[in-house]
A and B are shown apart, each in its own frame.
Chain A
Amino acid sequence: MCGIVGLFLKDKALEPELGNMLTDMLITMTDRGPDSAGIAIYSGDTDGKVKITVQSDTPEEDFPVLEAALGEGLGSTASVRINDTHAVIEVPAELADVTRARLKEINPNIRMMSRGESLEIYKEVGLPKDVAARFDISSMSGSHGIGHTRMATESAVTTMGAHPFNTGPDQCLVHNGSLSNHNQLRRKLRREGIHIETMNDTEVGAAYLTWRMQQGATLGEALQSSLDDLDGFFTFVVGTKDGFGVVRDPIACKPAVMAETDQYVAFGSEYRALVNLPGIETARVWEPEPATVYFWSHNAAPTATEKAA
């Protein structure tokens, strides 16, 4: 099973409510998967800075010393905001790669959740209501976000096996389904130099998109080619800095419902996830077509490539 939700706000007045609305949607999907939960939130302009969200199983030991440890190598420009088992590190964009390398040296127990100018990913083992509460997702504001609650099939129930998966800067992916050629594809991608941490099928799907985009594909093109190269069942929702996209495999047995009003575009594995959204009674509600890439962007005048994501 697994449950997916996504919310893309057109009405800026709703932005302070984003975390609250997404949390409510995700909790409604709890019975589609109780193993782990995660939310990706896109918020704020960091003004030339990059946010690196990290996780630790022993945050009380690892995080308080982080700012000082990073500062030694970087020149005291890193700020660390701790949120339960996660911490968001902000550094100037040009220091992002150095910071990530430094983090591995400082403490190999610290795991990367996401990186990007606006993206933050929070995910842990447990029910959506508990995961959302520990990070206080409800209080977060933002322009768009996606969430996932997992019923594990292909790999262990761990933080690293939880969704969303970070695919590239400000990009992430959630998945309902199971990929059947992930072992073969993992070997291939590793030979291409792509880092894949777990035995999770979705991580391979995410790594595949990263690899295609490194080769110069747009996200839209990468999603399109995933229809040929990924074997198995999938409904994917992807987040980008400016928007979000949806694609389902050609068989399309994994459910998906979308709703659009003047205020938002919303995605849910089931209609239940959408029932508390404002104006849902009069929203345009539909089921996305199989093997079709959908995309919504905040960029009012997207270029041809951006339109294709």
Chain B
Amino acid sequence: MQTFDLEAQGLRELNTTLQAQATATNQTSWEIVNAKGSHAIAVGLDAPIEVNVKGSTGYYCAGMNKQATVHVYGSAGPGVAENMMSGTVIIEGDASQYAGATAHGGTLIIKGNASSRCGISMKGVDIIVHGNVGHMSAFMAQSGNMVVCGDAGDALGDSLYEARLFVRGSVKSLGADCIEKEMRPEHIEILKDLLARGECDAKPEEFKRYGSARQLYNFNIDNAY
């Protein structure tokens, strides 16, 4: 395992080193110490390596991630795993605003709470939150799954497209065009897999499913050009 002291060696050195790892690298395990809330830790990775960040991170940790597993032993600042393509990002603490925004793939696991706009415009990522999510979560979410073991804030799933939302607790309010949907056996199966991947101690049957009513302007074919 390689240990990287962020304070001593600097952010540019860290990201250059991690981004240079080839897919077939033998140096698969990295530990980052003295994170101290720094921005843009472990962004743009593209190799199946494991990066363990000791401490909390600032803006945009693990942004644009491909293949790598980034594990934050602390809380994450705004925009964690933004635009992730594949791989896994695990946050032991809480995540700030817009966690997993626009992410196309991979898995984002938040063991604490996520703040507002979690999964905004998500495009295929699976987001599993052990705690609560804040207001406007899954806003304009296009594809992928969001699992919330706690409660959801105001305007969940506003202007939603095809993403699936599973919430165990209460939903403060649903956003425009977001409705509760029937939980069919195939959804239980999907959720069972998501909960197992997220290491959640929850039963799929306890959740409700929310999705798009497909009633907004853009869903009406007569409005197409």
Inter-chain CA distance A302–B194, complex, in Å, is 48
Q: Is A255 an interface residue (CB 8 A)?
A: yes
- Chain A, residues 66-108, CB within 8 Å of chain B (1/0): the string is 0000000000000000000000000000000000000000000
The residue from B75, B97, B135 contacting A271, defined by CB atoms under 8 A apart: B75
Q: Is B37 an interface residue (CB 8 A)?
A: yes
Contact B58–A272 (Cβ < 8 Å): yes
A167 CB to nearest B CB, Å: 28
Q: How far is the CA of A285 from the CA of B56 in the complex (A)?
A: 10
Cα separation A271 to B59 with both chains bound (whole Å): 10
Q: Which of B64-110 contact A (CB under 8 A)?
A: 75, 77-78, 93-94, 96-97
Beta-carbon contact of B116 and A271 below 8 Å: no
Q: A120 on the interface (CB 8 Å rule)?
A: no
**Is A133 an interface residue, CB under 8 A from the partner?**
no
* A255 with B78: CB separation less than 8 A: yes
How many chain B residues touch A (CB < 8 A): the figure is: 18
Give the residue of B37, B58, B96, B135 whose beta carbon is less than 8 angstroms from that of A290.
B135
Contact B56 A255 (CB under 8 A): no
- In the complex where A271-B58, A271-B75, A290-B116 touch, is A253 in contact with B97 (Cβ < 8 A)? yes
Report the minimal beta-carbon distance from B23 to chain A, rounded to whole angstroms: 33
- Distance (whole angstroms) from the CB of B140 to the closest CB of chain A: 16
CB<8 Å pairs between A and B, sample of 23? A250-B135, A252-B134, A252-B135, A255-B77, A255-B97, A270-B37, A270-B58, A270-B59, A271-B37, A271-B57, A271-B77, A272-B37, A273-B37, A274-B37, A275-B36, A275-B37, A285-B75, A285-B93, A285-B94, A287-B94, A287-B115, A290-B116, A290-B134
Task: Give the CA-CA distance A163 to B44 in the complex, in Å.
Answer: 37
A271 (CB) vs chain B CBs: closest residue: B37
Q: Are B75 and A255 in contact (CB under 8 A)?
A: no
Measured between beta carbons, the chain B residues less than 8 angstroms from A272 are 36-38, 58
Chain A residues 238-292 with CB under 8 Å of chain B are 250, 252-253, 255, 257, 270-275, 285-287, 290
Given contacts A252-B116, A285-B94, 5 further A-B contacts (CB under 8 A): A250-B135, A252-B97, A252-B135, A253-B97, A285-B75
Determine the chain A residues whose CB is within 8 A of the CB of B59 once the complex forms: 270
Residues of A within 8 A of B116 (CB): 252-253, 290
Which B residues are in CB contact (< 8 Å) with A275? 36-37
Please, which residues of chain A bring their CB within 8 A of the CB of B56?
271, 285
Top 9 closest A-B pairs, CB basis? A271-B37, A272-B37, A275-B36, A271-B56, A287-B115, A275-B37, A272-B58, A270-B58, A252-B116
Q: How far is the CA of A270 from the CA of B97 in the complex (A)?
A: 12
Contact A287–B36 (Cβ < 8 Å)? no
Residues of B103-142 at the interface with A, using a CB-CB cut-off of 8 Å, are 115-116, 134-135
Q: How far does the Cβ of A7 sit from chain B's closest Cβ, in whole Å?
A: 16
Closest-by-CB residue of A relative to B75 is A285
In the assembled complex, which residues on chain A have CB atoms less than 8 Å from the CB atom of B77?
255, 270-271
Cα of A21 to Cα of B194 in the assembled complex, Å: 44
Query: Complex: how many Å from CA A223 to CA B110?
Result: 32
When distances are taken between beta carbons in the complex, the residues of chain B under 8 Å from A271 are 37, 56-58, 75, 77
For window 21-65 of chain B, which residues contact chain A by CB distance below 8 Å?
36-38, 56-59
Q: Which residues of B contact A250 (CB under 8 A)?
A: 135
Q: Which residues of B contact A252 (CB under 8 A)?
A: 97, 116, 134-135
Closest to B136 in A: A251
CB–CB A286/B94 < 8 A: yes
Contacts of A290 on B, CB cut-off 8 Å?
116, 134-135
Hey, which chain A residues are within 8 Å of B134, CB to CB? 252, 290
Chain A residue contacts of B96, Cβ below 8 A: 255, 257, 287
User: Nearest CB to that of A286 among chain B residues?
Assistant: B94
Query: Which A residues are in CB contact (< 8 Å) with B135?
Result: 250, 252, 290
Bound: A223/B78 CA distance, A: 25
Q: How far is A257 from B59 in the complex, measured between Cα atoms in Å?
A: 13
B36 cross-chain contacts in A, Cβ below 8 A = 272, 275
CA distance A250 to B155 in the complex (A): 12
A255 CB to closest chain B CB (Å) equals: 6
Residues 108-142 of chain A: 1 if any B CB is under 8 Å from the residue's CB, otherwise 0? Answer: 00000000000000000000000000000000000
Contacts of B115 in A (CB 8 A): 287
A272 to B96, CA, bound (A): 14
Assembled-state Cα–Cα distance A290/B97 (Å): 12
C-alpha gap A290/B116 in the complex (Å)? 9
* Residues of chain A within 8 A of B94, CB atoms compared: 285-287
Question: Quick one: closest B residue to A256, CB to CB?
Answer: B96
A255 to B201, CA, bound (A): 31
What residues on A are CB-neighbors of B38 within 8 Å? 272
CB-nearest residue of chain B relative to A289?
B134
